[in-house]
Amino acid sequence: MRQSWQPGDQLLIRHVTLGRVVFAMPATVAAADDSELVLWVAPETPCIYPIGSDADRQVRPPGSWELRERQWYGAGVLHRFREGDAHSLMHIWDDNGRFTAWYVNLQQPFRPSRLGVDRGTTRSTSGSTRTAAGAGRTRTT
């Protein structure tokens, strides 16, 4: 990895779609080495989130998405980025500290930026969520 991040460092995760930042969230470095960056997002972390559909729930083109501030939901999430991978992996826990799900975000390989890491897509993003009990679903946004 090109950066020299250390556990405890604060950085920004940004999602860039068609050259525009559409999501931004601060995170804490949990671990970093030559091939992987692991980031912790605490419960209720403020983030900028896209509103990509209209009142009729029709998806609008990404260039017209509105950005709004909100808090990260749930008990926190661990994001794992491996250099060169076209996906990132999220580990999700419930409010009691039990692992409940994972989510695979298909994306372009992450890029270090002066603020942290940029990830992005040029098309829709798909992922799969699986609970600890084994039930799964696939989602495309």
Residue pLDDT, tens place only, 36-76: 999 999 989 999 888 877 777 777 777 778 888 988 877 88
Q: What's the pLDDT score for residue 6?
A: 93
Q: What's the pLDDT score for residue 2?
A: 55
Q: What's the pLDDT score for residue 1?
A: 52
Specify the CATH number of the domain 10-140: 2.40.380.10
Q: What's the pLDDT score for residue 28?
A: 97
Is there a contact between 26 and 130 (Cβ–Cβ < 8 Å)?
A: no
Is there a contact between 129 and 137 (Cβ–Cβ < 8 Å)?
A: yes
Cα gap 21→24, rounded to integer Å = 7
18 in helix, strand or coil? coil
Q: Flag residues of the chain having pLDDT under 50.
A: 122-141
